Amino acid sequence: MSATSKVLPALHPIKSLPPKFKITSGNPTAGLMENHGDAKFRSNDVIRSGSPENDALIGEVAEEAQNCAGDMGVYGEDLAYSRKGVSLEDRPSIADEDLESVPLPFPSISMSSRERRWSDTTPYASKKKLQSWFQLPNGNWELGKIITTSGNESIISLFDGKVLKVKEESLVPANPDILDGVDDLMQLSYLNEPSVLFNLQYRYNQNMIYTKAGPVLVAINPFKKVPLYGNDYIEAYKRKAIESPHVYAITDTAIREMIRDEVNQSIIISGESGAGKTETAKIAMQYLAALGGGSGIEYEILKTNPILEAFGNAKTLRNDNSSRFGKLIEIHFSETGKISGANIQTFLLEKSRVVQCNEGERSYHIFYQLCAGAPPSLRGKLNLQNAEDYNYLRQSNCYSITGVNDAEEFRTVMEALDVVHISKEDQENVFAMLAAVLWLGNISFTVIDNENHVQAVEDEGLFHVAKLIGCSIEDLKLTLSTRKMKVGNDNIVQKLTLSQAIDARDALAKSIYACLFDWLVEQINKSLAVGKRRTGRSISILDIYGFESFNRNSFEQFCINYANERLQQHFNRHLFKLEQEEYIQDGIDWAKVEFEDNQDCLNLFEKRPLGLLSLLDEESTFPNGTDLTLANKLKQHLNSNSCFKGERDQAFTVHHYAGQVTYDTTGFLEKNRDLLHVDSIQLLSSCTCPLPQIFASHMLTQSDKPVVGPLHKSGGADSQKLSVATKFKGQLFQLMQRLESTTPHFIRCIKPNNLQSPESYEQGLVLQQLRCCGVLEVVRISRSGFPTRMSHQKFARRYGFLLDNVASQDPLSVSVAILHQFNILSEMYQVGYTKLFFRTGQIGVLEDTRNRTLHGILRVQSCFRGFQARRSLKDLRGGITTLQSFIRGDKTRKAYSALLKRHRAAVIIQKQIKAVFARNRMRTISDAAIVIQAGKVLYYINSKIYDTNFCCMEYRCSN
């Protein structure tokens, strides 16, 4: 078939590409000859001489290079990987083992052209490789261009112009340039170590520190601030406006699955020391607080970080802020999805760091913060000195961290203590215990007899410790210099030698600090749980120490690496074992994928009675047991184990999943017993300060199982019942049980370099971590498997309404009908006995359709409900208007009737009043008339009388 007649599948742009990626439509030859990153292959690269050996090849190479460049023009615009945009979904996924047998999606070239360039014995796949990875002697991978191939040898040109002749089997196929910086490693056509390394480096150089590896998020520590966080990003991930990999995206998924499935979730953050686990946990908590906030408890949860970091983190050679304890914070949610409370569980605080630090390291941050930031009043009360004045702190000659202000950090811690409701009095007691621990290290001893017995010197260290913990100087002096023992019915006081006295002093300091740390966590939990209702829904964030391997590895690294071994088993179980077991149980046609299982290493630790932990506990109970006898016993019983190797002197090597670690058993037995003598506990219980009394009570009640053997014989306290290893193993199993009951989300933190330097990427270091955490296996299994699965019932219930018509109510029939209706290819899913299994990305199509349909349904429902509401409102208004009219009419009629009655009454009243007025007026007039008439009559009478009298007078006069 010719290049022009070959039909290629439809090609679409990749959904997720780096922001700076640009699609070009220029010369396809230039696009193919362009190297990854900054390396460019130019036409003259092949004729440059990198070494004398290459000069002999230049002539032949130059001709072949020109021929190759000329033939690439034959492809023209039909090149499958030209810069016009390609979709990975349109190309078949190729497993590692099939790289040499599956043809690449390039058009074929005429046979005549092939015969002129390569012999017939050259494998077909090799003839088509344009770029391949080649491993240099220093272990780094470099991209090269295949110039010509003859037999099982190929001539390649590196980016610096060197021309090498290499064995064909030493070349690893490279992905096309269009896949540079994809945000999910599952999108890579060739999934191999150099391709994964380069893809991560490409993104890392552009500050894209997060990359998906199937279901796992890979986070590379940038060792600098990157613009990927804040309220704007939180809101964007909440609204799904951004889909690129991020801690926010993982946390958002956990919240949504918790609400949707009503199943508790867990976010498991792992990685080496210095990989950024603590910061990643804080970022996840910030997102939870932003989405589930509102009650105020989220602010308290965030403020626990500076407290726990100050008291539980320290500077090591590999990390300035290394967690020296494990932390599981369980955040509880209400029914409405709001944070309602939290609980913090801690594991194995590294107590030995309190009294001993290696050169260049620091003890716990809080000591330096207290010395640098305590206010004058507190300094005077605690008699604080500078950090370099304390023996426990000055032995490492490291007092500060570049870029960190301890005084400012102390103020932050005090503010956080206020937020979690630890009273000022309790805070002063906490700082007093810290000062007491520091002054304990300054207590010195003097020899008092020929047998090297010692007693504590009455110096400022002794005085200050006695004052701070609230005991008498004599009691403290006797506790550090003598030991009470009971032999039969007699009590014997034994004087201590210098080494015994120093051990007793250091044991007291370590116990006080460890109890103080536990007490602080207990107070924080009380604050986070007061008045909070729990619904059973929670998201747990696990931030635990990473795998460690130093030049000298002691008991602490032994426990830490055992914990990481158990966590790796949990990782394997959920991503490898359970997945493949589920395929088998559900009858899925599945080719089992092999992966590296660490069960043998776990058996080495946990097997009884001949496991590392059992033999360690057994030797700890022997009266004459020493670190040397422990080493010999381990070699005697475990040398046949493939994961164990006995070393010279007191050392042994364990083959962990992350590599070999050699442990020095010096101090193993003492640290495993972790004995605090009964005299020291009695001293603490007799103190006047409240905290030492609480610590003593805790030590006396922490276990019920007695220890037999040398612990009692040496006067050990009855409180020291269980060994440290046994208690740690119990805590670890409880942790695993809690994690098993949750849906896990994994974040793998990667440290790009050991110098904690930004923009530095060490291939070997990154590759080692990728191998350790099983990233390649996860991607390989996820890509070849069916990572998305759903029960028939749930699938039918969730998507059944999308069917045009439902002929059957059987969940399986409904599910199959849905798949057929939406034309999902048969190779993209499999139907199991109880579940449906989907390839990556298939469920997203259905989910998008469901969301769109639901959105449309909601729009229709909203319109119909609006219509109903408006019609109901109109009817209601009409009814109200009618009712109001009747009521108003009735009220008007009643008012009119009352008014009419009042009018009638008023008329009657007026009539009566007018009548009264008329009668009174008539009477007045009548009376006046009568008076007038009477006056007239009287006048008349008087006039008549006058006239009569006048006449009479006249008569008499006349007479």
pLDDT digits (tens, 9 = 90+) for 164-201: 888 888 888 888 887 889 998 888 878 888 999 999 99
Residue at token pair 């009380």: 526
The whole-angstrom separation of Cα 917 and Cα 218 is 111
How buried is residue 182: exposed, middle or buried, by Cβ count under 10 Å (0-12/13-18/19+)?
Answer: buried
Asked whether residue 256 is domain-assigned, the answer is yes
Count: domains in the chain: 2
Asked whether residue 13 is domain-assigned, the answer is yes
Asked whether residue 384 is domain-assigned, the answer is no
Active-site option among 199, 323, 346, 666: 323
Q: Are residues 768 and 808 in the same domain?
A: no
113 in catalytic set: no
The whole-angstrom separation of Cα 585 and Cα 595 is 19
| The predicted structure's pLDDT at residue 384 | 95
Domain final position from 742, 768, 784:
784
Active-site option among 214, 292, 312, 546: 546
Domain final position from 840, 857, 880:
840
| The predicted structure's pLDDT at residue 122 | 37
Active-site option among 148, 278, 442, 620: 278
Binding residue positions for ATP: 271-278
Q: Are residues 796 and 766 in the same domain?
A: no
Asked whether residue 565 is domain-assigned, the answer is no
154 in catalytic set: no
Strands (E), 339-474: 339-347, 445-447, 454-456
Q: Are residues 762 and 814 in the same domain?
A: no
Q: Are residues 14 and 72 in the same domain?
A: yes
Asked whether residue 905 is domain-assigned, the answer is no
Asked whether residue 43 is domain-assigned, the answer is yes
Q: Are residues 769 and 827 in the same domain?
A: no
pLDDT tens digit string along 839-866?
766 777 777 788 888 888 889 999 999 9
The whole-angstrom separation of Cα 945 and Cα 189 is 160
Cis before 245 (ω within 30): no
The CA-atom distances, in angstroms, between 733 and each of 265, 656, 730, 822, 832 are 18, 19, 5, 46, 33
322 in catalytic set: yes
Residue type at 473?
A: I
Q: Are residues 766 and 811 in the same domain?
A: no
pLDDT tens digit string along 883-907?
999 999 999 999 999 999 889 988 9
Active-site option among 181, 214, 274, 312: 274
280 in catalytic set: no
Q: Are residues 65 and 102 in the same domain?
A: yes
793: how many CB neighbours lie within 10 A of its CB? 14
Active-site option among 132, 221, 266, 273: 273
Binding residue positions: 271-278
Cβ(565)–Cβ(598) below 8 Å: yes
Cβ(610)–Cβ(633) below 8 Å: no
Q: Are residues 802 and 765 in the same domain?
A: no
Per DSSP, helices labelled H in 206-338 are: 231-238, 247-261, 277-292, 297-312
Domain that holds residue 818: 788-840
pTM of the predicted model, to two decimals? 0.70
Q: Are residues 794 and 778 in the same domain?
A: no
Q: Are residues 50 and 93 in the same domain?
A: yes
State the DSSP code for 743: E
Helix pair angle (277-292, 231-238), 10° resolution: 70
31 in catalytic set: no
Asked whether residue 534 is domain-assigned, the answer is no
State the chain's maximal CA–CA distance in angstroms. Answer: 207
Active-site option among 132, 319, 564, 620: 319
Domain final position from 796, 817, 840:
840
273 in catalytic set: yes
Asked whether residue 186 is domain-assigned, the answer is yes
Active-site option among 54, 270, 322, 598: 322
546 in catalytic set: yes
SS3 of 172-219: the string is EECCCHHHCCCCEHHHCCCCCHHHHHHHHHHHHHCCCCEEEECCEEEE
Q: Are residues 179 and 199 in the same domain?
A: yes
Contacts of 460 (CB under 8 A, 6+ apart): 383, 439, 442
Q: Are residues 113 and 153 in the same domain?
A: yes
* C-alpha of 572 from chain center: 19
786: how many CB neighbours lie within 10 A of its CB? 23
CATH number at residue 821: 3.30.70.1590
What backbone phi and psi angles, to 5 degrees, belong to 708? -105, 155
Low-confidence ranges of the chain (pLDDT < 70): 1-129, 488, 530-535, 578, 593, 702-721, 787, 806-808, 840-841, 946-959
The tokens for 639 are 């040398």
Active-site option among 168, 548, 565, 579: 548
